[in-house]
Amino acid sequence: MNISARIIKTAFKSALLAASLLYFVILGLNEGRILDALPFLPICLIVSFILSMLGVSFTIVPFYYLGKKDQLPKIGKKFFPLYAILSFSFCLMFTIITDFIAAFVILGIAYITAMFAWMWFFMLNTNKNNSK
């Protein structure tokens, strides 16, 4: 699979995850009234797809270019803990600096989505290739 198809596939999965998590938060704040929160679903999908595409392109793809295709599992295992620690530290620091409770929710969703995107981009595709 070429890199652009992998970026789009991972960004699409991340967008669906982020939009569903954000929509559940909106439903929770809206006390479960589905029809009132329904207009926010297309907006959530569009915004989260754009942000996921940017996030995957700027934070995950550079690690892809660090090694060759046969070294992707090594790169995933080597840099994933560092990536997780740095992104969690950034999210926590930004939440403390802004002192805004919504930033905690938004950055928590971004952190969860980034960790899944990392696994989808590096680890799951290489596991499929190894089983063939």
Single-letter residue type at 8: I
pLDDT tens-digit readout, 104-124: 777 778 888 888 888 888 776
Extract the tokens encoding 52. 């996921």
CA dihedral 45, 23, 92, 49 (to 10 degrees): -10
CA angle 43/49/53 to nearest 5° reads: 150
The pTM assigned to this predicted structure is 0.72
pLDDT tens-digit readout, 68-105: 666 777 777 788 888 888 878 887 887 788 777 777 77
Contact in structure between 106 and 29 (CB atoms under 8 Å): no
